[in-house]
Amino acid sequence: MAYDLEEQEKLDALKDAWNRYGNLAVGALAILVIGFAGMQWWNYYQHKQSAEAASLFGTLQTAQQSNQPKLVKDTAAALIDKYAGTAYAARAALISASSNSQAGDLTSAQAQLQWVLDHSRENGMKQLASLRLAALLIEQKKPADAIKLLDAPHDEAFAARFADLKGDALMQQNQPAQARASYTIALEKLDAQSPFRKYIEVKLDALGGETK
């Protein structure tokens, strides 16, 4: 009898606990299940997006290699539109910008480079876009706009190229002394074996600057 009473007390305690906390327990379990399912779906979605973007990027590379600028432009536009959150989008924009620039479509090239600056989450991609956009602006005789890009913080790996382009922009502004200083910085940032040194040394020689 004592055993039966003890068991009944345990059952009553369990029932009371369930009445108090059952709904909370069910709710918490539901949240866990939904959260896990959501995470699984997100992982699947991200993988699917990446795979589709990679396939489209392959098409873009083939179009680039076979010199089909319209297909490059259209494929890049589709990739950017549908898969902007993937790493392929910024790379597609850079490739398309280069193709458009070679085809003389500087407006489209500039828009694609600006897209990389505005949307890419990779600093390396953004700095490449800054360099290429600055070069386009210099080509269009817009040195002040180019200098704004070139004065932005950048990694040491890009320092020589930033300084070199800034020198070009300063030359367009008829500031040879400042251009010489910028070219000198570019030369100092380059490795001693870099073939790019000769290119900058020619610019310094034209300005009457000393090379190192």
Average pLDDT over every residue of 164-178 = 96
Site of tokens 């009553």: 12
Residue 148 has pLDDT above 60, yes or no: yes
Q: What is the pLDDT of residues 85-141, one digit of tens each?
A: 888 999 999 999 999 998 899 999 999 999 999 999 999 999 999 999 999 999 999
Angle at alpha carbon of residue 145, lines to 141 and 149, rounded to 5°: 125
The predicted model gives 10-17 an average pLDDT of: 59
Q: CB neighbours of 116 closer than 8 A, spacing ≥ 6?
A: 90, 93, 94, 97, 125, 126, 128, 129
Tokens of 51: 């795979």
The answer on pLDDT for 163 being more than 60 is yes
Quickly state the pLDDT bin for 21 (edges 50, 70, 90): low
Averaged pLDDT of the chain: 84
Residue 29 has pLDDT above 70, yes or no: no
Number of neighbouring beta carbons within 10 Å of residue 150: 27
Confidence of residue 142 (pLDDT cuts 50, 70, 90): very high
Residue 1 has pLDDT above 50, yes or no: no
pLDDT in tens, 37-81: 556 654 555 566 778 888 898 999 998 888 888 899 999 999 999
**What percent of the chain stands above pLDDT 90?**
57
> In which residue are the tokens 């602006």 written?
137
CA dihedral defined by 26, 32, 36, 37, rounded to 10 degrees?
Answer: 30
